């Protein structure tokens, strides 16, 4: 349209310049005539002037026609341009703006969740063709779809984080988190490994055939060391258990669980398809949220352990031990299983304290506790029950089992000695044992009293011996 206006201006200027030139020539002819003939002008000169005047008038008429035609053409072309502009620019832009405005109102009314549900089923801005406006509509729909997906991820992350935040048991928390992310990402298998005492332990697993050596895997340790995600194709030994049998996944992702630059563990995710960037982003973000909950659970467990432990001997203290005794006794009664108790008392401990001092007495306590702990079976519980008295809780142990373990403890202590500089002191212990159902006991206090009475008998009979509780 601006080009037409420019052409019109050039044509009008051209014809106006011609008229101006002819007019100047006409005036020059008149001036020359007046200069040459001061008398009456001749007929030839007058006719020449009249012819030139008529020529100028013809050019003026012709110029007016040309200007009129050019103006009409310009007006028609301008109208056509306006029509095309309205059809192919103004209306599409208005439609695009109206659609965006309607979507904005829908977001205000329904929220991103409602719009996300709609945009997953159809395009909120319909489009057809391949021009720029349809490309804008297409890009807008893609943007809205991406925003809806991100909103869905954020909502899912909040729901999962809120769900796992209620757990303070690290293993239950790990299992809950693992199941949640596997279900959300529709993955068949995975595991959570947590570092405890310098070793990676499997706290939770699902769908994996064998996780016993997972903590020793080089890729897992590399993920922990570098604190970076590792992707690997699974070898033939790693298999996923399904109702249809065992098979190899397409890939495995190892994602570090890091809290404040401290690597807590690794989350293992197995997939039979390549994970999309969106799925990887979700898994990494979930692990970040999970790291906070896991750190809180580990801290809570550590504080519970510290509160439950005797600071000197690193055995359970009496307060926590009483709870464990109650739990084990109730379990044994419910399942009709055996439960044994060993009461151990260090002989002549007061005399050791008086003669060698309390620091040496503390060393006797720690050494004795270490020897008892080393002799007990795996799963047995050692409790410091009094000053120099220890209680061993032996789940699923008969009276005979308890007596065998007690004799091993007595012999181990008697064969050793406690040294301090040039001092070497031999220590002995007296032990009483009792067990259910070998002994009738209605509650844990009755069982403890039976073992304590047997310990008293061991003291009365000369110490450094094991005595079984008397049967009723």
**If DSSP codes are grouped into helix, strand and coil, which group holds residue 348?**
coil
Tokens of residue 342, six digits: 């060993």
Closest CA to 290 of 381, 173, 143: 173
Tokens of 167: 């757990």
Helix/strand/coil for 338: coil
Q: Which helix (H) or strand (E) holds 467?
A: strand 466-468
Q: Is residue 439 a contact partner of residue 472, using CB atoms and an 8 Å limit?
A: yes
- Give the contacts of 234 (CB within 8 A, at least 6 positions apart): 248, 249, 251, 252, 270
Domain 318-468: which CATH class?
alpha beta
For residue 160, name the pLDDT band (cuts at 50, 70, 90): low
For the whole model, what pTM was predicted?
0.56
Residue 251: its pLDDT value, please? 85
Q: What is the pLDDT of residues 217-234, one digit of tens each?
A: 888 889 988 999 988 866
Is the distance from CB of 238 to CB of 272 less than 8 angstroms? no
* CATH class of the domain at 164-305: alpha beta
Q: What pLDDT score does 77 carry?
A: 75
**Residue 256, strand partner residues:** 266
In this structure, what token pair is assigned to residue 136?
């804008």
User: At residue 416, does pLDDT exceed 80?
Assistant: yes
Token readout for 240 is 């996923």
Under a CB-based contact definition with an 8 Å cutoff, are residues 223 and 233 in contact? no
Our CA angle for 385, 386, 391, nearest 5°, is 30
Task: Give the pLDDT of residue 121.
Answer: 47
| Section 266-294 average pLDDT | 88
17 token code pair: 């310049």
**Mean pLDDT score of the chain, rounded to an integer?**
80
Domain pair 164-305 / 318-468, same fold: no
Encode pLDDT of 1-58 as tens digits: 556 556 656 666 665 666 666 566 655 666 565 555 545 566 666 666 666 667 666 6
What pLDDT score was predicted for residue 65? Answer: 63
Domain boundaries, the chain: 2-99, 164-305, 318-468
Identify any residues that bridge with 467 across adjacent strands, giving them in sequence order.
Answer: 432
CB-CB contact of 290 with 282 (8 Å): no
| 140 pLDDT more than 60 | yes
d(CA 200, CA 190): 15
CB-CB contact of 180 with 308 (8 Å)? no
- % of the chain at pLDDT higher than 90: 37
């Amino acid at each position: 349209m601006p080009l037409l206006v420019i052409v019109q201006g050039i044509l009008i200027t051209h014809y106006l310049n011609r008229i101006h030139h002819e007019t100047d020539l006409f005036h020059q002819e008149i001036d020359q005539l007046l200069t040459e003939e001061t008398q009456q002008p001749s007929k030839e000169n007058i006719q020449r002037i009249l012819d030139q005047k008529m020529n100028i008038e013809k050019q003026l008429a012709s110029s007016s026609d040309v200007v009129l035609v050019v103006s009409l053409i310009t007006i028609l072309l301008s109208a056509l341009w306006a029509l095309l502009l309205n059809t192919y620019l103004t209306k599409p832009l208005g439609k695009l703006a109206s659609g965006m405005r309607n979507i904005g109102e829908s977001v205000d009314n329904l929220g991103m969740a409602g719009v996300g549900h709609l945009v997953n089923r159809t395009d909120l801005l319909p489009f057809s063709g391949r021009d720029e406006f349809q490309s804008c509509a297409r890009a807008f729909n893609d943007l809205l779809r991406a925003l809806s997906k991100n909103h869905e991820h954020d909502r899912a992350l909040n729901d999962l984080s809120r769900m796992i935040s209620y757990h303070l048991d690290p293993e239950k928390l790990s299992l809950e988190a693992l199941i949640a992310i596997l279900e959300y990402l529709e993955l068949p298998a995975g595991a959570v490994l947590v570092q405890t005492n310098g070793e990676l332990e499997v706290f939770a697993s699902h769908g994996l055939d064998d996780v016993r050596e997972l903590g020793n895997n080089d890729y897992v340790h590399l993920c922990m060391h570098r604190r970076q995600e590792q992707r690997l194709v699974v070898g033939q030994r790693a298999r996923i258990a399904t109702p249809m049998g065992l098979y190899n996944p397409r890939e495995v992702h190892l994602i570090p669980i890091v809290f404040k630059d401290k690597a807590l563990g690794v989350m293992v995710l197995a997939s039979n398809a390549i994970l999309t960037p969106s799925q990887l982003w979700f898994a990494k973000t979930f692990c970040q949220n999970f790291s906070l909950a896991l750190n809180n659970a580990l801290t809570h467990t550590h504080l519970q352990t510290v509160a439950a432990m005797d600071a000197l001997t690193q055995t359970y203290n009496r307060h926590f031990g009483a709870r464990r005794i109650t739990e084990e006794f109730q379990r044994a009664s419910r399942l009709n299983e055996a439960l044994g108790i060993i009461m151990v008392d260090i002989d002549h401990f007061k005399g050791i304290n008086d003669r060698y001092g309390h620091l040496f007495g503390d060393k006797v306590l720690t050494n004795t506790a270490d020897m008892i702990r080393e002799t007990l079976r795996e799963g047995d519980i050692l409790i410091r029950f009094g000053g120099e008295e220890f209680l061993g809780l032996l789940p699923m142990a008969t009276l005979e089992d308890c007596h065998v373990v007690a004799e091993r403890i007595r012999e181990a202590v008697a064969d050793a000695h406690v040294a301090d500089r040039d001092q070497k002191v031999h220590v002995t212990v007296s032990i009483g044992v009792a067990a259910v159902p070998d002994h009738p006991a209605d509650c844990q206090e009755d069982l403890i009293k039976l073992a304590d009475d047997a310990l008293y008998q061991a003291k009365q009979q000369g110490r450094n011996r094991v005595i079984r509780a008397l049967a009723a």
